[in-house]
Structure 1
Amino acid sequence: MSATVLFHHVAKRCLYAHIRCISLFRSQHLSSNVENGEQKREEETESMLVYNPSAYYQRPTSRSSTVGRSETEEDLSRNLPLNPAFRQQRSPYSISALRRLSSTKNAQAASTPNATKESSVNNDPRAFQRCRPEYRNMTHDPSPRSSTVDLNEALLVLHKVTVQKGNMGPSEVSIFLSKLSQIPQEQTAVVRGDKRFNMLLRYSVEILENFTTPQLLDVLSAFVNLGLPQSNSILGLYETEFCRRASEMELHQLLLAADCWRCLGRVVPQYLERLYDNVSRNFNPMGVPELVQLLYIIGEGRRCPDTLVQPIESLLMRHLYQLKPEELSAVCLGLFKSQCSLSERATRRLMDRALAVVEDMSDFAIVNVMKLMRFSYLDHLPWLEAMGSEVPRRAPKMEVQGLMHVVLACSALHYRDDRILLAVAERLPSVANRYRSKDAAKLLWAFGTLGVLPKQCPNLYPCLTAILRERQIEFQQYPEHLLTGLLGLAFAGLLPEDLLSLALSEEFVNRACNSQELELKKDLFTLDGTVGLELPKYLPEA
């Protein structure tokens, strides 16, 4: 019956009952734990809860694409199980559980390059750098390297540091660090823990301004190979020096330094500002490799300055047909991560190019194109139709995060194609041990809002629901994942009482309402109202 409530017109009396349930929820579960200021905000929130039945049931109509919305609002509008493939107009109603993270959390995410890397078959976001030899001049190669210096030679270098002490010049320091960086990776910790290495770092800072730019870049590359922790205070001094001389550096040097900072996992907003300022004054000499690498850096920095959007779009359109499949992937991912909104015409041309080379794209690249479509709300039907063939062919090899982004894009675009959805649903139970609660929640949301019923995928909903139960500890830090998952289950007509009891418990409600990053009250009101209609005799456990 939940599907009826969530997907179809409801009588006015049901709406009134729904609103009464929400008010009752507020009075029973929230009022005792809020201060005056919070109470006022709750009243303002309630006034925004407009339950418009037409928002849940709309006929498929043509629409123009809306570009520029925040990607993680993810347009969580609801649509009906209609024909195997359909596109539906975007609903004005959206749930906040998947909305954008705060800028602080995004900055933290940007500082950990591999924290939530996708595990599709070809999941290397830097794969594009192997497409052309020109990338070697502007990127750091983090792939496993052949060691040319053993540990004994490294210790000999460190001995020379104690002998020369303060008599070392920039050349000696850069040579010493470069040699140390050539030891086997498993032995870098031995070097980093040696007091003589820390002595070398201090000497390097004392003569920082005397390094030539190539020497400075060699030293930064050595830090990457040696695995210098991103929190090392020495790196802050180096960033300051790079900022000071950024206006004198060539474009390839600027991009190489930015790439090294990225490999170190260190957030360097001041340096990136200098890079963007320099690039904005020198766009004309940029070719394909420079443009793609710039977009990669912009994406990893999670921000694209407004002054760069139009020049980037112009260059992309100029070089569009020279882009190789993995370069297209990097472009789409960079635009998605930085929330950079191109014009609809430019985005459609980018999608046309992706469609032309879709068979040569890696699974990871296809997922990145779907991310850009989700962010742009772009209804590029030829690409989506191609996914009806590509996803079933690729799904048996893909991993959880890639599959999740595919169906999440379909949900955001209100596009249902059972070839895509059933292929993903068939794969998901076989990778059940690799889920995060976030993955399970978003998958439940996507399948639920697209109207995929339990009888169509007998193993899907039990598997994803079991993941939520197994990952309950994660809800302490990410309460939004539980709410997202439960709302998705409600769309499918499923209301597991044990998880509902958790979501409506006093402890969880307090945690969700006290979230500094997300506004979750609407989701709690919606969930409680749905329970009030579907399970009128249900009482949450004390």
Structure 2
Amino acid sequence: MLATIKLMRPSWIRPKFRHSCFSSRLYTVSYEKAIRSPVGKRIPQTPANTYAKQIRFGEKAYGDLRENVRYACHIYREKVDKLPASESHRVIENILSDIKLHKKKIIATEFTEVLQVLATCDNNVLKRYCNDDGFKDLWMLGAEVSNTLSDDQLKIVLRSLTKIYMLWSASITDVLMGLDHCCAQRCRDWNTTTLLLVADIWHLMAVKPIQYMQAMLNLFDIDTETFAALSTPQLVHLTYFVGNVRGGPKSLLSSIETRLENVIEDLSVSEIGLVCHALFKSSYSICSTTLLQKIGNKVQKDFSELDIYSSVSILKQFRYSGFYQPSFFAALELYLTDEHVEKLNLVAISHYAVTFASFRYWNEKIFNAFVNKFISVASVPRKLVPFSKKVQELHPSVRARCKDIAKLLWAVTSMNHPCEHLNFDAVALDEVQSRVATGEMDWFPHYLIDCLHSLAMRGIFPYDLISLVLSTDYLKKIKEAALYEPRRQLFVLDGSIGIECQDYTGNRLPPSFKDQLPAAITGTDGFELKAKVGLTDIMQCLSDLLGGKTFIHCRSIIPHFKTADIIIHVDSAGHPLAVKQGHASKAHQRDLAVPLSDNMLHGLLGRIPAPEKSPAVENRKLAVEVLGQNQCVRDRNVLLGLNRMKMRQLEKLGYKVILIYPFEIQQLENSTHEEREDFLKERLSNYIAF
């Protein structure tokens, strides 16, 4: 039997400003699967192993909530008086024998009693009953009486189930669904304390009660009085459960944000980390800059109070909300000393690095510390074992996940961080190849695409891996397994091969793939002309200087880069030539701005080129790049990795690239037309005879 819950998951590379609600996306999960593995986990785990994994990273903050909301969390256990062993056996055996021999129907009281007694038994006693056929009938009969349980009996049954996980099996599915339905029907009559208590008990079982959680969140959304009655600790508690199911009604999330703005000063940094993580998991970006500023101001007072979980969670929400606070990053810069970075695990380091890169904030010393930590962890000896064994045997603080490798590689590359002396490229490539060899990337194929895309930005093209991901079977696997479809990365990777790898003979993207690319991926020149600051003014000045619009052309030269280029052709004497206007390409729905040689055309279309003949007359091709703020490192005249890759490819296509940086555009905005012309004359004087 299947149950449905609607969830939405975010992408870590490019935060999307969207809100999540129960109508976002449909995921179908079974209770049988939920028993062995929480929703979203690919590797089956017993509830006990699930507890251990959750406590290691994040659940401590949940368990450390204030006393008046610590109902049934991981560090709390209700004290139950144990019966003597003989008495426990007698109660259990009597009920099981009645079920097996006499096919007796049980009543709610008996079902509650046998589970309560089982919860007091030692593990050895529980193991004895694991394979008892009577328990299959017990679960079946228990499902029939679940609706007749009183509220007190319902709580006892749920609490008992959290302590007898060793007896869980597929036969308990009906009981869980019955109890879930029962809780959902009764939640309207419960107060806030009971609502959160029941949710806590379900959480302790590592099972998501789909009907109950949806009913509870809808109740808090609709009933404003019930929501207003929440205390501050209960508000934090409710927010945790919103994150636990990865979504909630949009209006409820907005109400939570409003309440948090008023009480954020009363929360500890652990609780702030908890709510930030919960809202991030719900794909909810905080809209209130006031709330984000209060969070930043409170945290930056003393970063030493932050644990790894809280700091990473706050950074996630800042990144997802697109909120940049200079004072926060300045304080964080001082906090991240070499000694502190050495104490962090790679999960935290990858999040720190991605956050810095998302805001284009670069510090050479900090990024060197990140890279050194990665290299030291990667040097730990490892065995080529199956992926499932690797996850179970290797502690996450010792080994990096493929997700962490992809994040860190993207962050270091995006910031154009120089790593030649650190041997970063060789180590990163070795890590990626080893994860492919062990089969880990088969579980997460989209992370392999991210890794190859980052390596390509660094000018590294492992042909065997590229041919693998561009194969038909692997493209199908990516579409089926990825949380987001990395079409943009694939498009850039394939186009880069055509320009930079003339000896590559492996797989290429099929034409049908390129035909289906939306404008958001391929870009439009009209949008560039309207959106890019200073581009229109520069074009007008160049037109006046060169003698007309026929001597310049604004198009994206390379199809897999969206940013526009101003193209100028000059002869060997430096005199401008008319630029032939391009026409729309059927494959990419773009204009190729210049006449293409056979080499260029074959490379872009995925065919092996023939040797290019030297032209009879040496003409020069110039590409003037008007850079935006998002194309450079913050407050520096340093190109980001993707834009550096574009300039490298333009040079391979025979262009001389002239860069106009954002600070220069700002200065030209307040200049006269004559001053702009003088600036362009000086910048182009080595190539054009004015």
Distance in 1 of aligned mates of 2:334 and 2:56: 19
Offset of residue 446 of structure 1 = 1.5
Distance in 2 of aligned mates of 1:396 and 1:274: 45
Residue 362 (structure 1) aligned with residue 296 (structure 2): no
Equivalence map 1:366-445=2 (5 Å): 366-392=311-337, 393-432=339-378, 434-445=399-410
State which drifts further: 284-293 or 506-515: 506-515
Distance in 2 of aligned mates of 1:188 and 1:356: 51
Residue 272 (structure 1) aligned with residue 195 (structure 2): no
Instruction: Give yes or no for contact 2:183–2:212 (8 Å, CA) kept in 1.
Output: yes
Residue 234 (structure 1) aligned with residue 175 (structure 2): yes
Equivalence map 1:318-329=2 (5 Å): 318-329=262-273
Residue 527 (structure 1) aligned with residue 460 (structure 2): no
Offset of residue 378 of structure 1 = 1.2
Offset of residue 245 of structure 1 = 0.8
Which residue does the alignment assign to 2:291? 346
Instruction: Give yes or no for contact 1:302–1:337 (8 Å, CA) kept in 2.
Output: yes
Distance in 2 of aligned mates of 1:322 and 1:349: 11
- What secondary structure is seen at the aligned counterpart in 2 of 1:267? coil
Residue 104 (structure 1) aligned with residue 27 (structure 2): yes
Equivalence map 1:472-511=2 (5 Å): 472=436, 473-509=439-475, 511=477
Superposed CA offset, 1:20-79 (max 9, x none): xxxxxxxxxxxxxxxxxxxxxxxxxxxxxxxxxxxxxxxxxxxxxxxxx984163289xx
State which drifts further: 399-408 or 496-505: 496-505
State which drifts further: 476-485 or 320-329: 476-485
Instruction: Give yes or no for contact 2:9–2:246 (8 Å, CA) kept in 1.
Output: no
Distance in 1 of aligned mates of 2:402 and 2:29: 19
Superposed CA offset, 1:64-116 (max 9, x none): xxxxx984163289xxxxxxxxxxxx9xxxxxxxxxx9753999896257969
Could you say if the C-alpha distance between residues 341 and 105 of structure 1 is closer, same or farther in structure 2, counting changes exceeding 3 Å?
farther
TM-score, with structure 1 as normaliser? 0.73
Could you say if the C-alpha distance between residues 187 and 360 of structure 1 is closer, same or farther in structure 2, counting changes exceeding 3 Å?
farther
Task: Work out which of the residue numbers 418, 426, 451 in structure 1 matches 2:416.
Answer: 451
TM-score, with structure 2 as normaliser? 0.58
Letter of the 2:426 counterpart: P
Letter of the 1:428 counterpart: F
Distance in 2 of aligned mates of 1:278 and 1:482: 42
Could you say if the C-alpha distance between residues 482 and 168 of structure 1 is closer, same or farther in structure 2, counting changes exceeding 3 Å?
closer
Which residue does the alignment assign to 2:191? 250
Which residue does the alignment assign to 2:156? 218
Offset of residue 126 of structure 1 = 4.2
Distance in 2 of aligned mates of 1:327 and 1:515: 33
Residue 193 (structure 1) aligned with residue 131 (structure 2): yes
Which residue does the alignment assign to 2:146? 208
Equivalence map 1:7-406=2 (5 Å): 71-72=10-11, 74-75=13-14, 104=27, 111=39, 123-137=57-71, 139-141=72-74, 154-162=88-96, 169-185=107-123, 188-227=126-165, 228=168, 232-280=173-221, 281=223, 282-342=226-286, 343-392=288-337, 393-406=339-352
Letter of the 1:388 counterpart: E
| Residue-pair matches, total | 450
Any stretches of 5+ residues in structure 2 without a counterpart?
A: 1-7, 18-23, 44-49, 383-398, 509-690
Distance in 2 of aligned mates of 1:403 and 1:163: 57
> Pairwise CA RMSD of aligned residues?
3.6
Offset of residue 469 of structure 1 = 0.8
Instruction: Give yes or no for contact 1:486–1:495 (8 Å, CA) kept in 2.
Output: yes
Flag the structure with higher helix content: 1
Offset of residue 513 of structure 1 = 6.0
Could you say if the C-alpha distance between residues 252 and 486 of structure 1 is closer, same or farther in structure 2, counting changes exceeding 3 Å?
same
Distance in 1 of aligned mates of 2:182 and 2:507: 59
- What secondary structure is seen at the aligned counterpart in 2 of 1:207? helix
Distance in 1 of aligned mates of 2:347 and 2:443: 20
Offset of residue 174 of structure 1 = 2.3
Superposed CA offset, 1:114-150 (max 9, x none): 969998996232433323211233x343668999578
Offset of residue 254 of structure 1 = 1.4
- What secondary structure is seen at the aligned counterpart in 2 of 1:124? helix
State which drifts further: 109-118 or 220-229: 109-118
Letter of the 2:14 counterpart: D
Distance in 2 of aligned mates of 1:191 and 1:262: 25
Offset of residue 408 of structure 1 = 1.6
Distance in 1 of aligned mates of 2:79 and 2:205: 20
Distance in 2 of aligned mates of 1:328 and 1:190: 45
Distance in 1 of aligned mates of 2:169 and 2:57: 24
Could you say if the C-alpha distance between residues 420 and 492 of structure 1 is closer, same or farther in structure 2, counting changes exceeding 3 Å?
same
Q: 1 or 2 for the larger relative contact order (CA 8 Å, sep ≥6)?
A: 1
Could you say if the C-alpha distance between residues 134 and 531 of structure 1 is closer, same or farther in structure 2, counting changes exceeding 3 Å?
same
Letter of the 2:58 counterpart: D
Offset of residue 229 of structure 1 = 5.1
Offset of residue 153 of structure 1 = 6.0
Could you say if the C-alpha distance between residues 192 and 481 of structure 1 is closer, same or farther in structure 2, counting changes exceeding 3 Å?
same
Distance in 2 of aligned mates of 1:411 and 1:352: 21
Which residue does the alignment assign to 2:680? none
Distance in 2 of aligned mates of 1:186 and 1:340: 45
Instruction: Give yes or no for contact 1:159–1:196 (8 Å, CA) kept in 2.
Output: no
* Amino-acid identity (%): 22
Task: Work out which of the residue numbers 415, 420, 427 in structure 2 matches 1:463.
Answer: 427
Instruction: Give yes or no for contact 1:158–1:196 (8 Å, CA) kept in 2.
Output: no
Distance in 2 of aligned mates of 1:127 and 1:229: 30
Distance in 2 of aligned mates of 1:150 and 1:197: 22
